[in-house]
Amino acid sequence: MSVEHDADDERGSLRTIADYQFGADAGAALFPPAEELTVTRTSSGRPQQIHAEGGRLVSFGTDGRFTLGLEGGRRLRDALEAPAYRVVVDDESEPFVRDGKNVFAKFVLEADPEIRPGDEVLVVHERGDLLAVGRAELDGEAIFEFETGMAVHVREGAPAEN
C-alpha cells in the first residue's frame, strides 16, 4: 500500500518539530524550501530519516524528537548563534571525537548552559569546527561539576576536512 504525502505540509511539520526542539529558525536551516529532500519511511508511512545531497540531516527518534546527522549538525552550527546546543573541546580531544569516541566532562571547555540530558548537541572545536553530533548525558552546567563521567554520547564523528 502506498501512502501519499503532501511535500509542503510535510516540510512544514518537519520545520515545526525542529523549531520546537532547537529553537527559532532551526527548521528553515535544516529544511530549506527549495532543496530536494529524500525521506525514508517506516512501513506505516511515518518519516524515519531525512537526507539532503550533503548527507543525513536527521532521523526520528523513538521519542518523536530528531537525532542529528552530520549534515544536520553543520546546518545548525551555521544557523544557531553560539553557544546554542554546543559542547566545546580542544585539540587534545579533537582526534578522538572525530573518530566517534564519547566526550568526557573533564575535557569540555565550554557548554551551552541550557543543554539538558538527552538533548541533541553539536560537539565543536574551540575554533568552531564541527567534530561530532550526539546526545548530552549531563546538563550544560553540571558538566563542569564532574571530573569524570560522560558528557556527550557521540553518535557520529566528522572526518577532518582537507
* pLDDT for 161 beyond 80: no
Cα separation of 64 and 97, whole Å? 26
The domain segmentation of the chain, as residue ranges, is: 7-76, 81-157
What pLDDT, in 10s, does the model give residues 20-55? 999 999 999 999 988 999 999 989 888 899 999 999
Q: Edge to edge, what strands does the sheet with 86-89 contain? A: 103-104, 150-157, 130-136, 120-125, 86-89, 110-111
DSSP code for 48? E
Q: What percent of the chain has pLDDT over 70?
A: 94
Query: Class of 7-76 per CATH?
Result: alpha beta
**Smallest Cα–Cα separation from 154: which of 104, 109, 114?**
104
Q: What is the pLDDT of residue 56?
A: 97
Query: With contact defined as beta carbons under 8 Å apart, do 88 and 125 qualify?
Result: yes
The mean per-residue pLDDT over the stretch 76-98 comes to 96
Pick the CATH number of 81-157 from 2.30.130.10, 2.40.128.20, 3.20.20.80, 3.20.20.450: 2.30.130.10
What cell does 74 get?
Answer: 553543520
Query: With contact defined as beta carbons under 8 Å apart, do 80 and 26 qualify?
Result: yes
Amino acid letter, 113? P
The mean per-residue pLDDT over the stretch 72-88 comes to 97
* pLDDT confidence bin for 93, thresholds 50/70/90: very high
Q: What is the pLDDT of residue 10?
A: 85
The mean per-residue pLDDT over the stretch 55-67 comes to 93
